[in-house]
Amino acid sequence: MSTLITTPPFADTRTESVLRVSGLRKSFKQREVLRGIDWEVPCGRVIGLLGRNGAGKTTLLRCLLGLSPIDAGTVELFGELMTEPGGERMHRIGFVPQTFDLFPWMKVRAYLDFTAAFYARWNHALAERLLGDWQLDPKQKIGELSQGQRQKLAIVRAIAPEPDLLVLDEPVASLDPQARRAFMAELLELMKAPGKTVIFSTHITADLERADADITLLRDGAIQFTRPLAELREHLRRAVLVRDGGWSHAPVVAGLLKASLKGDEAQLLVEDANTESLQALATREGATLRIEMPTLEDLFVELA
């Protein structure tokens, strides 16, 4: 049984890469979290980074941005190695960390003005509009903001420089549903400008569906695949075989990625399912066949 979906080469129109990672390794003490990451992110896409708790998403994002030292491998951003001095490159990157605990004594607007001074580009009108839309009081101290309000501020700070690459580590974890939708709408608006790329880690698969993201799965310290959501939808099916008496072992069919046995049902996640072979398998096994289209959440549960 295949446990890994191979990454197809991207089409010619998408070969320009924002990010190229090769053989990236990272350990904490004796524990190797990233075990040779090879990853290429094409320009102009929204990438959803998925992986279970502790899979290493935060670690990977921090390593990519030079916020955490790496043990081996290379990271290239905008065509330049991260080891090269990169003042200008950093102007093109926006980052929303998982938690934002900086400058509790500063007031919201003062913090944004202070941060703006570090960037070559800063869209003051956009920052003001977002403060209003997201009901952030410019005069409130950061230390007095709720977790969700802090996350909103971190997003404003990351978006205002109109970065070419926006990296967000679980940006919506503390946001209420309205704020999440508003944030996703801003993200998609930002993406309308040519050449913008977004990488965000999340557990909320519905947001990735809304953004029509490319899905990257991090598991066992490696990138298992990066594929457009539409392509996953087109190629992956769940075949459910049902028979009285259940299953002692999982049936096997071409393209099988994962099988799980639950009572009378054998659930097979299959790539490029051939309906005839599945039907023949069901007949051979004395089972009825149902073919379903898995949701992204189903896929995550099955593959992560």
Ligand X SMILES: Nc1ncnc2c1ncn2[C@@H]1O[C@H](COP(=O)(O)OP(=O)(O)OP(=O)(O)O)[C@@H](O)[C@H]1O
Angstrom CA distances, 299 to 5, 228, 291, stand at 12, 13, 15
| 97 contacts ligand X (rule: CB under 6 A) | no
Shortest distance in whole angstroms from residue 32 CB to ligand X: 10
Nearer to ligand X, 203 or 235 (CB): 203
Q: Please identify which residue in 59, 149, 151, 216 interacts with ligand X, judged by CB under 6 A.
A: 59
CA distance 205 to 190: 20
- Helix/strand/coil percent split, the chain, to 5: 30, 30, 40
Amino acid at 258: K
Span near ligand X by CB under 6 A; candidates 50-58, 102-110, 157-165, 267-275: 50-58
Per CB under 6 A, contacts with ligand X among 208-227 are none
| 48 contacts ligand X (rule: CB under 6 A) | no
| 56 contacts ligand X (rule: CB under 6 A) | yes
Contact 169, 98 (CB under 8 A): yes
Q: Please identify which residue in 28, 67, 74, 288 interacts with ligand X, judged by CB under 6 A.
A: 28
Shortest distance in whole angstroms from residue 30 CB to ligand X: 10
Strand pairing report for 72-77 and 214-219? unpaired
Shortest distance in whole angstroms from residue 58 CB to ligand X: 3
Nearer to ligand X, 94 or 97 (CB): 97
Q: Please identify which residue in 48, 51, 94, 171 interacts with ligand X, judged by CB under 6 A.
A: 51
Q: Is the C-alpha dihedral spanning 73, 75, 79, 82 positive or negative?
A: negative
Q: How far is CA 295 from the centre of its chain?
A: 16
Shortest distance in whole angstroms from residue 59 CB to ligand X: 3
Q: How many residues does the chain have?
A: 304
Contact 12, 60 (CB under 8 A): no
Nearer to ligand X, 73 or 138 (CB): 73
Span near ligand X by CB under 6 A; candidates 53-61, 84-92, 185-193, 271-279: 53-61
Q: Please identify which residue in 6, 30, 53, 178 interacts with ligand X, judged by CB under 6 A.
A: 53
At 9, phi and psi to the nearest 5? -65, 140
Shortest distance in whole angstroms from residue 100 CB to ligand X: 15
Structure tokens at 121: 């580009």
Structure tokens at 18: 């924002």
Contact positions toward ligand X, by CB under 6 A? 28, 33, 51, 53-59
